[in-house]
Chain A
């Protein structure tokens, strides 16, 4: 057989194996057969910073993807809807990294974790009240909210709230906004961008009644946690750290920040925090 004939035969075989028709015949050629798991990363969905619904996958993901790409860190990011699953994969399997808020990991998982902060945003308390005269105001002291119900995320440290006599109700972040509206919780805490994103659908009717408390509730640190036990984990973390610095120096970090959070955002202050 000539080389040309061999080439034609191979091409024909490939066409037969990978044609739309053979793919359409069912599970025999499953997409999962073509995906590698070696450098898998898991991210926790947290709109609008980590999201499946837009092209850049949200602000945090765009920042992280920019660094990963620039530094040649190859991996597949799988965005999951629960923190528990992300924590499971980090503690029980061998992902390259996990992405999202500063996860509360178990002691054993923490030993193999190296966290790099990528974003630090202010968190605010939000309440919903029909009567603005009775608006909640914590004035920096949780005791002022004694007897109220706080809507928390599963896994959140709520010790301070309990000590202040505040009741706790757990729910997923999008559900917390709805529960606030329904009066099931009295106040919730999240970055302004998250609240604005999630409350969009209620805003036309309820604009006046959502109250953002003026004193900040704290900071929310988000980033990437590399797995030191992964064969490429330490090296990738080192590269990522350097890459993040380059992203900031080049001004690209600030551009991405402004694109997602608006021109008014104090980029320099946020950068100082993560540095």
Chain B
């Protein structure tokens, strides 16, 4: 008979606002090996012992049940990690934003093929920056878009809108020139929360040149922030209210917020700076590296104006599991249907960006759906998962992966900077959670 474990998450925390009863099942009952999942614990613990990361919450679910939910290490100095610790999930906000857009799509209020200018007039008559040949009198020129940026372009990151931080990832003259306009116009990546509304930022951004013609390049950037504002324009609601009432409430995601309620402040994990060699320091101020600006302390703000569709949400492993499980269930969770099966199939289809690859987190072989990177073939370096796996990550080292073929979900939440060093650990986490499949 299936043995069921119950874990009262957060009950031991005096400052926890509520205790969530999370049902944990024995791994073998859902075709996972306990012994193999122990290996996952060992690898994470090794990283903590070696002071590469301070702590993490890892969750593995299969066949609609959570079989592994393990807090490890520290959430803050002298504060152990808890299963309900709250994390800055940053770019894992983007799939939530895409879902908000698709809810409006299902209500007949917009189409992915609609030009963004139909709703945000500032997107009319956009220009694309092209570099002139070296030695030209003027270094660049602005040429008209061949076609308007569409909502689909924003969902798939083919709008030509950049992140400022991309000057560090893929430096080139053209990118530098476009980003110099962003800097002058006071555009930020939204990882630090500016004193303005998302609409103020998006209206300025729309007037600046695009990096590439719409649909012609895959460029990770502020597109999801534009989508967040689009939700406001189309729904008539503030973006956070829309997400709260249309996604968080129906999915019972009780610990997901744009701005943290005061009674949950103590549950936020600290951010840690790691050299990945044993030097680990709690981050106390902003982290600035060229155009990349991170403000981990902004997570403690209990109110504010800026609602970034690309970066603002704070959440827990359990809450994000509920969102991921809804997607895995093709739009339904615990009897609540959020999206239709056909919409989820549309969002997770592999062929949205044509010949382009979503190469930010992965190498070739990964495509981008409407809010997720999707594994299209096996020509990449990470030897785990299956074709059709969809996932995304967040800049403070958070990541989730959904495998529809195996009906499995892996979520790993840490708060470690810089982001790049964490790839190796994440790859091991997915490899070990995948190899724990034992049926």
Contact = CB atoms under 8 A, between A and B. Distances in A.
Given A26-B111, A52-B203, A80-B207, A31 B118 contact: yes
A81 B186 contact: yes
Contacts of A154: 184
A275 interface: no
A81 to B, nearest CB: 4
Contacts of B148: 27, 30-32
Report the contact-size class of chain A (Cβ under 8 Å from the partner).
20 to 34
A80 B184 CA distance: 11
Given A81-B186, A84-B180, A174-B186, A26 B115 contact: yes
B138 A91 contact: yes
A178 B185 CA distance: 15
Nearest to B114: A26
Contacts of B180: 84
A148 B208 CA distance: 33
B181 A84 contact: yes
A79 B204 CA distance: 9
Contact of A31 (B121, B142, B147, B195): B121
B203 A31 contact: no
A172 B186 contact: yes
A25 B113 contact: yes
Contacts of A27: 113-115, 147-148, 150
A7 interface: no
Contacts of A171: 186
B316 to A, nearest CB: 32
A35 interface: yes
A93 B143 CA distance: 11
A23 interface: yes
A201 B207 CA distance: 25
A88 B111 CA distance: 35
A127 B118 CA distance: 43
Report the contact-size class of chain B (Cβ under 8 Å from the partner).
20 to 34
A149 interface: no
A24 B117 contact: no
A81 B207 contact: yes
A89 B141 CA distance: 9
Interface string A69-103: 00000000011111111001101110000000000
Nearest to B129: A88
Contacts of B181: 82, 84-85
Contacts of A178: 195
A89 B55 CA distance: 52
A207 interface: no
A156 B369 CA distance: 45
A35 B195 contact: no
B117 A32 contact: yes
A34 to B, nearest CB: 10
B213 to A, nearest CB: 13
Given A35-B124, A81-B207, A82-B185, A88 B115 contact: no
A32 B124 contact: yes
B297 interface: no
B138 A81 contact: no
A77 to B, nearest CB: 12
A180 to B, nearest CB: 13
Contact of A172 (B118, B147, B185, B208): B185
B370 to A, nearest CB: 16
Interface string B138-179: 100110010110100000000000000000000000000000
Contacts of A83: 184
B184 A82 contact: yes
A32 B116 CA distance: 12
A45 B206 CA distance: 14
A136 B186 CA distance: 27
A208 interface: no
B241 interface: no
A26 B147 CA distance: 11
B125 interface: yes
Contacts of A105: none
B184 A25 contact: no
A80 B208 CA distance: 8
B56 to A, nearest CB: 33
B125 A81 contact: no
Given A24-B111, A80-B207, A92-B141, A31 B186 contact: no
B53 to A, nearest CB: 31
Interface string B335-353: 0000000000000000000
Interface string B201-215: 001100111000000
Contacts of A85: 142, 181, 207-209
A79 B125 CA distance: 13
A91 B142 CA distance: 12
B117 A88 contact: no
A126 B334 CA distance: 58
18 contacts: A25-B113, A31-B117, A31-B148, A32-B124, A37-B125, A45-B204, A78-B125, A80-B207, A81-B184, A81-B185, A81-B204, A81-B207, A82-B185, A84-B181, A85-B209, A88-B142, A91-B138, A201-B195
Interface of A: 23-27, 30-32, 35, 37, 45, 52, 78-85, 88-89, 91-93, 154, 171-172, 174-175, 178, 201
Interface of B: 111, 113-115, 117-118, 121, 124-125, 138, 141-142, 145, 147-148, 150, 180-181, 184-186, 195, 203-204, 207-209
Given A26-B115, A88-B138, A171-B186, 16 more contacts: A25-B111, A25-B113, A27-B147, A27-B148, A30-B115, A31-B117, A32-B125, A37-B125, A45-B204, A52-B203, A79-B207, A81-B185, A81-B208, A83-B184, A85-B207, A93-B142
- The 4 A-B residue pairs whose C-beta atoms are closest, nearest first, are A26-B113, A81-B185, A81-B204, A82-B184
